[in-house]
Structure 1
């Protein structure tokens, strides 16, 4: 039951982010945009939090599943979200209401890394290794 709720949370948050991207791409206004504009560096904080939390929620939904590349353990969630943010940021080049911004991408990756760190800590508490 809890696992199903975590999957729904991750999916709902992804849909929310998709909606926000749609609003931005179509030049529509939303209260979120006004809130972000009122906070110093709000856009960057928003990128950090949105994609970091998405990483955490997907990690929870996937029970912290990982894979190994060149000796590095990587969360599936981090790889999925990283791929998504790169594609989404690059797509902004082709949308006249958006601006391709490398610093947004840096904020995205900082959020992914930070919340992956939280995931490491959390996974050890939720799924301890038994000897």
Structure 2
């Protein structure tokens, strides 16, 4: 099952999703998600896994599955960017009054980024 959409459609899906993701982050930062189950431990790990996984999947396709080569190793650019975005977002959580940072959240986000990238690559090869 190859995932065939035009480059424009992948970009549209990615930027639409990015808007949703940033909106969720803003609401969380303002403390407006206190009643949302996925905003609290341990369920927030699932939220990190899914939200960042989808972002990884969409970003990789939005930039035409480009890779960055570092010391001869090909690294998918979209997931690489979102890995850094995740680290920055966890850092922000450490300094915001309504948020709390954790390594578990970071690792859940990274697991989602890697797994959703892998699933996308496998689907593209079918």
Query: TM-score, with normalisation over the residues of structure 2?
Result: 0.86
2:24 to 20, 23, 40: 20
Q: Which has the higher contact order (CA 8 A, sep 6+)?
A: 2
4+ residue segments displaced more than 3 Å: 122-125
Pairs within 5 Å for 1:27-106: 27-29=31-33, 34-36=36-38, 41-106=42-107
| Post-superposition offset of 1:37 | 5.8
1:9 to 6, 13, 22: 13
- Number of equivalences: 122
Q: Which runs of 5+ in 2 are unaligned?
A: none
Q: Give the CA RMSD over aligned residues.
A: 2.0
Which protein shows a greater Rg? 1
- Tell me, in whole angstroms, the C-alpha distance in 1 between the residues paired with 2:69 and 2:125: 18
Q: Deviations over 1:46-81 (max 9, x none)?
A: 101100110001111112111221232111101110
Q: Which runs of 5+ in 1 are unaligned?
A: 126-131
Q: Deviations over 1:8-64 (max 9, x none)?
A: 11001111110000001011137xx524269x8421111011001100011111121
Query: TM-score, with normalisation over the residues of structure 1?
Result: 0.83
